[in-house]
């Protein structure tokens, strides 16, 4: 199988289904400024498709149809057709919900030189300069005191220009264009008011937005987000520009594919699964990351809940396959020498199949063939990607999932520019291509 030819110029999203999908993606991103919001947005769409939540303490016996397990910023969802044998193989879409950003420290109220500021910690591989001079809001979750000594979570989202990390004026740094050096402790604390720091001021503002009493807040996982909404860009609106394209493009495509498998006329030949993990940007080592046993436990229980044995579980995993969907690098026109000279993915040419023989990506020829066949069934193009030998290669959850479950895995992704920046770019057609391919992958072939 051969990839689609590289387009001489990017196409624009002329197909109505492409534009409809991308419009919905922009809505999804805007509603998902944190991993916890991304999970809530995904659940909203899955519940409309008939999925229901299962908790770890529930009895799962006999469950079929669409189910999901949510834990913090992670979501595992799957669909079991009626009368599917317990040994039916899984078709897994692996993604992650988190993005590099600035996260608020436990004691946040600080300041300097008559300014009130917020103390932040840097999460993941952040190009810090992209967070300068942007209007920033606050989002995440609050841990609240519940009845009888219990705790509960409440999402919060402040889409107002509340904070800003100001860049030093060029008059005070004439060499800024020769190389900007930002101190991660001193230079990225956003300002939000004048005066002396007030202990508890941020908590009061956030609690008010969440409509809770500050005294009920026992802890938080809060982060900053750029409040500029996602949108289209280009001569013919052929690009999407937004925060968190890495990796909400893939999460949204996976949700779309799984919901389609559950509601479509074609009965899936497999058990379609969406695994959206948290903490990929910092190594996936957490209870909700790809290195945790979360996916393995959920899939194992789904087998035994239908009366399956350990033999059935082994058969289901042995016949399983995983597509790890994350963003990929499009060739950068100003830095083409940083890319492999024979692999120049472009936006709107379809998702890439990512290859690295040192197993930074899990793709091999078998995985490439499975994904390419799904592209053919979906009528969608694809492009190969490999890094320049002189440049370090990134990675994703693909190798982690392959090693954890012993499941054949292929790494793929929509190509874009400015990965990990506060605002990224991809083709407006590619998200729909990815969703269609994933739909074909989980249902047949």
Q: How confident is residue 201, by pLDDT bands cut at 50, 70 and 90? A: very high
| The pLDDT of residue 342 | 96
What pLDDT is stored for residue 10 in this prediction? 44
On the question of pLDDT at 420 being above 90, the answer is yes
Q: Please tell me the pTM assigned to this model.
A: 0.96
Question: Beta strands 271-277 and 90-96: pairing type?
Answer: parallel
Q: What is the percent of the chain where pLDDT is above 90?
A: 93
pLDDT at 371: 97
Pairing between β-strand 151-163 and β-strand 136-145 as defined by DSSP bridges? antiparallel
The mean pLDDT value for 72-82 works out to 97
Q: How confident is the model at residue 421 (pLDDT cuts 50, 70, 90)?
A: very high
Res 7 pLDDT > 90: no
Q: In whole angstroms, give the CA distance from residue 244 to residue 98.
A: 8
Give the tens place of pLDDT for each residue, 238-290: 999 999 999 999 999 999 999 999 999 888 999 999 999 999 999 999 999 99
Q: Please give the average per-residue pLDDT across 71-85, as a whole number.
A: 96
Q: Is the pLDDT of residue 158 over 50?
A: yes
CA atoms within 13 Å, Cβ hemisphere of 277: 30
Average pLDDT value over all residues in the chain: 95
**pLDDT given for residue 370 in this prediction:** 96
As a whole number of angstroms, the distance between CA 324 and CA 368 comes to: 12
What's the confidence (pLDDT) of residue 184? Answer: 96
Pairwise CA distance, residues 195 & 399, whole Å: 50
pLDDT at residue 6, rounded to an integer = 45
Cite the DSSP H helix spans in 310-380: 310-318, 365-378
Q: How many CA atoms lie within 13 A of 102 on its CB side?
A: 28
The answer to whether the beta carbons of residues 405 and 320 sit under 8 Å apart is yes
Phi, psi for residue 303 in degrees, rounded to 5: -75, -50
Query: Distance from first CA to last CA of the chain, Å, rounded?
Result: 15
**How far apart are alpha carbons 335 and 339 in whole angstroms?**
8
DSSP state of 24: H
Model confidence at 16, in pLDDT bands (50, 70, 90)? low
Beta 424-427 vs 415-417: how paired, if at all? antiparallel
């Amino acid at each position: 199988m051969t990839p689609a030819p590289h387009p001489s110029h990017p196409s624009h999203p002329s197909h109505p289904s492409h534009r409809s999908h991308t419009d919905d993606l922009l809505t999804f991103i805007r509603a998902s400024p944190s991993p916890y919001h991304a999970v809530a947005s995904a659940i909203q769409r899955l519940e409309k498709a008939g999925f229901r939540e299962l908790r770890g303490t529930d009895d799962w016996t006999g469950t079929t149809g669409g189910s999901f397990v949510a834990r913090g910023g992670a979501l595992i969802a799957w669909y079991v057709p009626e009368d599917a044998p317990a040994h039916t193989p899984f078709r897994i879409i692996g993604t992650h919900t988190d993005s590099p950003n600035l996260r608020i420290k436990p004691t946040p109220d600080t300041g300097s030189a008559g300014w009130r500021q917020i103390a932040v910690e840097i999460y993941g591989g952040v190009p810090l300069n992209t967070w300068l001079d942007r209007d920033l809001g606050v989002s995440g979750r609050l841990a609240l005191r519940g009845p009888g000594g219990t705790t509960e979570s409440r999402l919060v989202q402040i889409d107002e220009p509340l904070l800003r990390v100001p860049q030093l004026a060029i008059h005070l740094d004439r060499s800024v264009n020769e190389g900007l050096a930002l101190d991660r402790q001193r230079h990225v604390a956003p300002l939000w008011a004048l005066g002396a720091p007030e202990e508890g001021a941020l908590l009061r503002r956030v609690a008010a937005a969440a409509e809770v009493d500050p005294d009920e807040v026992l802890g938080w996982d809060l982060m900053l987000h750029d409040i500029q909404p996602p949108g289209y860009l280009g001569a013919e609106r052929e690009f999407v520009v937004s925060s968190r394209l890495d990796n909400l493009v893939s999460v949204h495509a996976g949700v779309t594919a799984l919901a389609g498998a559950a509601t479509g006329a074609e009965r899936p030949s497999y058990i379609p699964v969406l695994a959206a993990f948290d903490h990929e940007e910092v190594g996936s080592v957490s209870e909700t990351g790809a290195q945790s046993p979360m996916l393995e436990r959920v899939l194992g229980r789904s087998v035994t809940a239908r009366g399956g044995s350990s033999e059935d579980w082994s058969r289901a995993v042995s016949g399983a396959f995983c597509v790890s969907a994350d963003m990929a690098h499009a060739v950068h026109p100003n830095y083409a020498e940083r890319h492999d000279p024979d692999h120049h993915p472009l936006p709107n040419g379809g998702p890439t199949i990512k290859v690295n023989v040192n197993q930074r990506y899990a793709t091999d020829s078998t995985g490439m063939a499975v994904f390419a066949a799904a592209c053919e069934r979906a009528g969608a193009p694809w492009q190969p990607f490999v890094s320049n030998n002189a440049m370090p290669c990134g990675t994703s959850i693909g190798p982690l999932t392959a090693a954890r479950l012993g499941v054949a895995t292929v790494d793929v992704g929509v190509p874009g520019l400015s990965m990990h920046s506060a605002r990224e770019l991809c083709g407006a057609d590619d998200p729909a291509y990815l969703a269609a391919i994933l739909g074909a992958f989980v249902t047949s072939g």
